Amino acid sequence: MQKLRNNPLLVVLLLLAIITGGVLRYKNKKGTLTKANADFAVADTASITKIFIADKNNGKVLLTRNGSAWKLNEKYEARQDMVDILLTTIKKLSVRAPVPNNTIPGLLKSMATNAKKIEIYVGNEIVKTYYVAGPDMNHAGTYMLLENSSTPYLTHIEGFQGYLTPRYSTVEGAWRSNLLFSLNKKDINEISLNFYNESKNPSYNFHNNNGTYSLMSGNKQVVVFDTLALNMWLNSFKLAVVENFDAGCTKAKTDSVLNNKPIYEITILHNGKQKITIKTYIIKLPKGSTDHGGTPTEEDHDRVYALINNTLPLTTLQYGMLDNFVKPLNYFIPIVKK
């Protein structure tokens, strides 16, 4: 004891040994943390080329880098905001705490049926694979497991309150960009607008011949038109968005909608050869429905069903967006002052 009093360094070393032993015993009860089975993050997200997410119910999402944008399931443009959030998650993901050893078997059993599998690629090589389960009781962390490991961890992002599972969605619609098209007027070659109720609005065609504009209605050329109105109209094609790419219609409902006459059909030819077609249909409301002012109505006055490029499913588009570029022919006719 006298030697300990006379040797402060020895006292410090002894205390450190006692503390370390206590921590190790604590971790053996609570779970262990080693870099080999707890390294979930990918620091260099700029090098990531593909991200694959799959669940046990055949839900699958493949995100592929396409220059500065991302492709969804090799078919659609992906929502950039969603991709950015996922990349941030992949980069900042860290372990919040080990999982207590006595709860690991039950958690692994649950993950075997409910977890989502994440594969992260650089080039064609998988650089990270892990499984994402649900949150802890406080919804402050997310259970995850690296591939080829039997040790799950509670993960989080420092400074973020909440769990991370929703960021790894396997629902295609959650990732799909709502952009319908974005066109510069110089790239638009032709636009045809076919109103199916000709008595109300005559159909017409617009042509852009290297900057020289022309309008046709039926077999007649519209000789005099308002060029300012026409240019404003062409500028409205800069942005068009979809309310919902899947209106959720059953096959019977879809057949019923398509058996009705469309409201109008718009066809756009741009960049020389690319075509966009949109057919719109009235959305019928249940009996007893009213509009925003309380007036009885049988039709939805906010949105329409739409068939885009003659491809199902039916989508929904809002009138407020469509009204920007669906104009009657008289919109382009100058008012003659008397």
Q: Are 46 and 70 in contact (CB under 8 A)?
A: no
Q: Which two tokens stand for residue 186?
A: 């110089």
The rounded distance, in Å, linking the Cα atoms of 269 and 275 is 5
The rounded distance, in Å, linking the Cα atoms of 83 and 65 is 10
Residue 239 lies in a domain: yes
Let me know the angle formed at the C-alpha of 61 by 248 and 47, rounded to the nearest 5 degrees: 145
- What are the distances in angstroms from CA 243 to CA 49, 126, 177, 333? 29, 35, 10, 31
Q: Which two tokens stand for residue 60?
A: 């699958």
Query: Average pLDDT of 73-101?
Result: 95
Name the pLDDT band for 214 (thresholds 50, 70, 90).
very high
The rounded distance, in Å, linking the Cα atoms of 311 and 106 is 45
Please tell me the pTM assigned to this model: 0.68
Query: Average pLDDT of 143-171?
Result: 94
Query: Average pLDDT of 87-109?
Result: 94
Question: What pLDDT, on the 0 to 100 scale, is given for residue 44?
Answer: 97
Residues 209 and 158 in one domain: no
| pLDDT of 16 strictly over 90 | no
Residues of the chain with pLDDT > 90: what percent?
A: 76
Q: Are 127 and 121 in contact (CB under 8 A)?
A: yes
Residues 289 and 323 in one domain: yes
Residues 297 and 228 in one domain: yes
Question: What pLDDT, on the 0 to 100 scale, is given for residue 36?
Answer: 59
| pLDDT of 28 strictly over 60 | no
Q: Which two tokens stand for residue 176?
A: 């799909």
DSSP code at position 26: H
| pLDDT of 205 strictly over 60 | yes
Which residue's entry shows tokens 């790239």?
187
Question: What pLDDT, on the 0 to 100 scale, is given for residue 24?
Answer: 36
The rounded distance, in Å, linking the Cα atoms of 144 and 151 is 9
Name the pLDDT band for 34 (thresholds 50, 70, 90).
low
| pLDDT of 243 strictly over 80 | yes
| pLDDT of 26 strictly over 90 | no
Q: Which two tokens stand for residue 175?
A: 């990732």
| pLDDT of 18 strictly over 90 | no
**Radius of gyration of the chain, Cα coordinates, nearest whole angstrom:** 30
Residue 263 lies in a domain: yes
Q: How many domains is the chain partitioned into structurally?
A: 2
Task: Tell me the three state secondary structure of residue 322.
Answer: helix
| pLDDT of 1 strictly over 70 | no
Query: Average pLDDT of 205-233?
Result: 94
Which residue's entry shows tokens 């309380």?
294
Residues 145 and 190 in one domain: no
Q: Are 172 and 166 in contact (CB under 8 A)?
A: no
- What are the distances in angstroms from CA 321 to CA 130, 242, 249? 41, 9, 22
Residue 27 lies in a domain: no
Q: What is the largest CA-CA distance in the chain?
A: 117
Question: What pLDDT, on the 0 to 100 scale, is given for residue 21?
Answer: 41
Question: What pLDDT, on the 0 to 100 scale, is given for residue 250?
Answer: 95
Residues 206 and 326 in one domain: yes
Residue 22 lies in a domain: no
Query: Average pLDDT of 84-111?
Result: 95
Residues of the chain with pLDDT > 70: what percent?
A: 88
Query: Average pLDDT of 124-146?
Result: 95
Q: Which of 125, 140, 173 is the last residue of a domain?
A: 173
User: Alpha helix (H) ranges present in 52-201?
Assistant: 80-92, 104-114, 172-175
Question: What pLDDT, on the 0 to 100 scale, is given for residue 13?
Answer: 41
Residues 202 and 140 in one domain: no
Question: 310-337 as b/e, with b when 16 or more CB fall inside 10 Å?
Answer: eeeebbbbeeebbeebbbebeebeeeee
| pLDDT of 271 strictly over 90 | yes
Query: Average pLDDT of 122-128?
Result: 97
Residue 138 lies in a domain: yes
The rounded distance, in Å, linking the Cα atoms of 283 and 299 is 6
The rounded distance, in Å, linking the Cα atoms of 192 and 27 is 71
Q: Are 72 and 172 in contact (CB under 8 A)?
A: yes
| pLDDT of 221 strictly over 50 | yes
Residue 338 lies in a domain: no
Residues 69 and 186 in one domain: no
Residues 76 and 140 in one domain: yes
Residue 317 lies in domain = 179-332
DSSP code at position 180: E
| pLDDT of 322 strictly over 90 | yes
Q: Which two tokens stand for residue 110?
A: 């649950």
Q: Which two tokens stand for residue 231?
A: 């240019």
Paired residues of 219 in beta bridges? none
| Averaged confidence pLDDT in the chain | 89
| pLDDT of 73 strictly over 90 | yes
DSSP code at position 176: B
Residue 273 lies in a domain: yes
